[in-house]
Amino acid sequence: MGNCCAGSGDAEPAAAADPSTRRAGASVQAGGASPSSAPAQNKPPAAIGPVLGRPMEDVRSIYTVGKELGRGQFGVTSLCTHKATGQKFACKTIAKRKLSTKEDVEDVRREVQIMYHLAGQPNIVELKGAYEDKQSVHLVMELCAGGELFDRIIAKGKYTERAAASLLRTIVEIIHTCHSLGVIHRDLKPENFLLLSKEEDAPLKATDFGLSVFYKQGEVFKDIVGSAYYIAPEVLKRNYGPEADIWSVGVIVYILLCGVPPFWAESEHGIFNSILRGQIDFSSDPWPRISPGAKDLVRKMLNSDPKKRISAYDVLNHPWIKEDGEAPDTPLDNAVMNRLKQFKAMNQFKKAALRVIAGCLSEEEIRGLKEMFKSMDSDNSGTITVDELRKGLGKQGTKLTEAEVEQLMEAADADGSGTIDYDEFITATMHMNRMDREEHLYTAFQYFDKDNSGYVTWQVHILSSSTDIHTSELTHSWPCHGCRMQLHFQGGARAGPSGEGAPGRQRHE
């Protein structure tokens, strides 16, 4: 669900939990009241929660839950304050109604277990406690008030290959630690690396282990998870292991050095085809001015054959990444910084546009979609399972093979939960029924075209979407270097630089 631990700038960094409390599947505050405040003798024992498998407990009895920090399709993250100490944390709340299958419940249990398993690592967000009540599961975590990695880079205004190498060293050390402890992250991307505070020397922290898994040597995974730009080719082929994490970090390094992803297209399907082709561009600017060592490492990390791909250990011993190694200390081209800003803004723009389009649907259209959802949700759980989808489509006279039903389910299930919730259903049916038709797209375009010029500049979008990016109008387009960075409306509109299509959405938030 994105940056589950990011917070406001005035929040204080959280203190580390007592190591004696760190055990898999156990809350930091689990175990009931202290001896000095023993419960009444006749008080009935708390019911055992079906998700965490231990007595249910009200997180609000220990923490004051405050403002919302972020929201994803799977849950909401809020600022919370420990009542006894005043320390601030991030509380990720997962609605139990969305955990409609055994696999969903196991996923949440596994996330909690993995975070406790990784406790004590200096560059991994620490889980302070896991709580379950009748409605939700709450994960209280270290608050990272320093924001996302890319935001820090953009705020600095310029950086060097040596700075990029230093960041990569920290990220790969995190991955090496995870792999050494038998964990594959499976969703590595810039948004999942946060800074603990706004201090210059604040530590970088890895977060969001919702898609992570425990693994044993030689074990193979087949489920397709992750975020489109960063997915390894073997993940798309449903035959992968820890090497997939190295690929994802290789994509991050490529973006850090040139400002654009190595594999992109107008759609998610196009991105996946580009990944499977595996052709990496080292000829366009600024690559001719990037050091040979950097290009050598990126090539080794983005080797399409996972058996030949460099390991985390070998990355850390590469001459470019080593402290005082080969990475030059000269600033990277300013165009790289501009493209980083645009890469971030493009994704924000797409999300904002989808919100506007959703708001354009008529009451009749919304009512029809609601009724369709209700008719398929036979057990009134608020989610649609693959079996309900199969039966619901059959009742409507839509005949699909089992494989086609599963493909449809996978495409609509944006958060990878194994079920389709209402938001996912609306998004999927908007595409299926072509509700992204021209008048809706044009309404969304007009929302951003503040001066009715027929163009949308990045400056206008940035101001409209209330992001934290403060910049003058960007003049180096992404990814077509050197063009004016603006969007204009065409029939059957495609949002992107000079009419080109924008990159596909992230598969999981």
The CATH number of residue 297's host domain is: 1.10.510.10
Residues belonging to the binding site for ATP are 96
**Could you tell me what percent of the chain has a pLDDT over 90?**
42
What is the distance, to the nearest Å, from the Cα of residue 194 to the centroid of all Cα atoms in its chain?
12
Is pLDDT above 90 for 298? yes
* Local confidence band at 444 (pLDDT 50, 70, 90 cut-offs): low
Same domain, 252 and 181: yes
Average pLDDT score over residue span 236-246: 97
Q: Final residue of a domain: which of 302, 332, 362?
A: 332
Q: Final residue of a domain: which of 142, 164, 185?
A: 142
Closest CA to 69 of 96, 93, 98: 93
Same domain, 89 and 168: no
Give the DSSP letter of residue 59. Answer: G
Same domain, 208 and 255: yes
Average pLDDT score over residue span 203-213: 93
Among 102-106, 371-375, 466-470, the range scoring the smallest mean pLDDT is 466-470
* Domain range enclosing 77: 19-32+46-142
| Residue 55 and residue 39 in contact, taking contact as beta carbons nearer than 8 Å | no
| Residue 355 and residue 444 in contact, taking contact as beta carbons nearer than 8 Å | no
| Residue 390 and residue 405 in contact, taking contact as beta carbons nearer than 8 Å | yes
Is pLDDT above 80 for 201? yes
pLDDT tens for 136-147 read: 999 999 999 998
Let me know if residue 499 belongs to a domain: no
| Residue 498 and residue 480 in contact, taking contact as beta carbons nearer than 8 Å | yes
pLDDT at res. 416: 61
Q: What is the rounded average pLDDT for all residues in the chain? A: 76
pLDDT at res. 265: 82
pLDDT at res. 372: 78
Let me know if residue 379 belongs to a domain: no
pLDDT at res. 263: 94
More confident residue, 501 or 102: 102
How many Å apart are CA 105 and CA 233, to the nearest integer?
Answer: 28
* Local confidence band at 267 (pLDDT 50, 70, 90 cut-offs): confident
Among 126-135, 231-240, 381-390, 399-408, the range scoring the smallest mean pLDDT is 399-408
Catalytic residue among 133, 187, 413, 421: 187
Let me know if residue 380 belongs to a domain: no
Is pLDDT above 70 for 457? no
Same domain, 92 and 121: yes
More confident residue, 249 or 347: 249
Same domain, 167 and 130: no
* Local confidence band at 127 (pLDDT 50, 70, 90 cut-offs): very high
Q: Final residue of a domain: which of 309, 332, 355?
A: 332
Closest CA to 297 of 241, 257, 324, 330: 257
Alpha helices in 181-311 (DSSP H): 233-236, 243-258, 268-277, 292-301
Average pLDDT score over residue span 472-497: 38
pLDDT at res. 348: 58
Average pLDDT score over residue span 384-413: 74
Average pLDDT score over residue span 413-440: 60
Is pLDDT above 70 for 21? no
Same domain, 100 and 227: no
Same domain, 270 and 322: yes
187 counts as catalytic: yes
Is pLDDT above 80 for 31? no
